[in-house]
Structure 1
């Protein structure tokens, strides 16, 4: 996958998480839109970074199992 393809997937993952958390914070928690947007930005960022770390760890584990470096 090219760097631009990977960057596109990261942006899409963040956008989906942001919209999901925005709806949860506004409609379920009853927060006003500005506060819900701030919370959604943070709540979407943390799982996205966790997913990237998890993906990197899986890739490193696979390369170790197959005997390749990097």
Structure 2
């Protein structure tokens, strides 16, 4: 994957998480939009980074099984 492809996926993962957590924090927790946006920015960052890191680790494991060195 190219560097821009990785950046695009990272931004997309963060954006989806942000929107999801924004809705959850506003409607379920009853927070005003400004506070919900601040919370969502933090809460979306953690699963986005974790998901991308686990995907990268999974792909590295596939390459090792196939006999590739990198």
Q: Which runs of no fewer than 5 residues in structure 1 stay unpaired?
A: none
Q: Which runs of no fewer than 5 residues in structure 2 stay unpaired?
A: none
* Two-structure CA RMSD over aligned residues (Å): 1.0
Paired positions, count: 70
- Hey, what does 1:38 align to over in structure 2? 38
Q: CA deviation at 1:30?
A: 0.1
Q: CA deviation at 1:2?
A: 2.0
What stretches of structure 1 move > 3 A for 4+ residues in a row?
none
1:9-52 CA-to-partner distances (Å, cap 9, x unmatched) read 21111111101100100011101111111110111100001011
- Tell me how far apart the structure 2 counterparts of residues 5 and 55 of structure 1 sit (CA, whole Å): 14
- Tell me how far apart the structure 2 counterparts of residues 57 and 36 of structure 1 sit (CA, whole Å): 32
Show the 5 A alignment for 1:27-66: 27-66=27-66
